[in-house]
Chains A and B, each alone.
Chain A
């Protein structure tokens, strides 16, 4: 069974541009979570989607947004990129709604903003 996949693996953008990151959950999983991990640090919760709807978001500005498609895959969009947005962006999926359930992580997309 395929795990969580993310694309691209690496992304280089310049300040002010927009970035789009993609995530495909494990087959059958309906919840998708996005996290930001700055270099060598812990994960900061960004967004949680379930059944196509945004269920919760972390303390990030509105230029971080996303959506979940009918096939449960998800996109994270970051507008007006800033240097401090450089980080590893991790996507996770779970079988059942809610953070209590085991989350399975993808390998991440490393975003570098120059």
Chain B
């Protein structure tokens, strides 16, 4: 069974600070996706990383896929209240037929 562990589970920071969310597994994934979910809504895809060592940037968000494709991180620079939400990582197995979600990191950015 492939498992994804996210840390921390909860993060509360002030506006303007930086934060990093981690997603770790003992299994190899063919690709990894990051989602953000706001209350009352379904998750929205932010990015997909495919290649080991890949780094993708989305404005103030930087996503990195580990060299061994077992882990990933999400770094937010100068966080804003609009970044508040539940961040979920999800791995696609080598067979490409199963999406495994991490437990989520709840981020609160206070003005």
Residues of A whose CB lies within 8 Å of any CB of B are: 4, 33, 35, 40-45, 48, 55-56, 90, 92, 98-100, 102-108
Q: Is B100 an interface residue (CB 8 A)?
A: yes
Q: Report, as a range, how many residues of chain B touch the other chain.
A: 20 to 34
- The one of A44, A99, A107 that contacts B96, using a Cβ cutoff of 8 Å: A99
The CB with the most chain B CB atoms within 10 A, among A40, A42, A43, is that of: A42
B101 to chain A, nearest CB (A): 4
B42 touches A105 (CB 8 A): yes
Q: Is B64 an interface residue (CB 8 A)?
A: no
Residues of B whose CB lies within 8 Å of any CB of A are: 4, 6, 30-31, 40-45, 48, 86, 88, 90, 92-93, 96-104, 106
- The one of B42, B102, B104 that contacts A40, using a Cβ cutoff of 8 Å: B104
B33 to chain A, nearest CB (A): 8
B42 touches A108 (CB 8 A): yes
Tell me the bound Cα distance from A35 to B6 in angstroms.
Answer: 18
A56 touches B106 (CB 8 A): no
A55 touches B97 (CB 8 A): yes
Residues of B within 8 A of A41 (CB): 103-104
Residues of B within 8 A of A40 (CB): 86, 104, 106
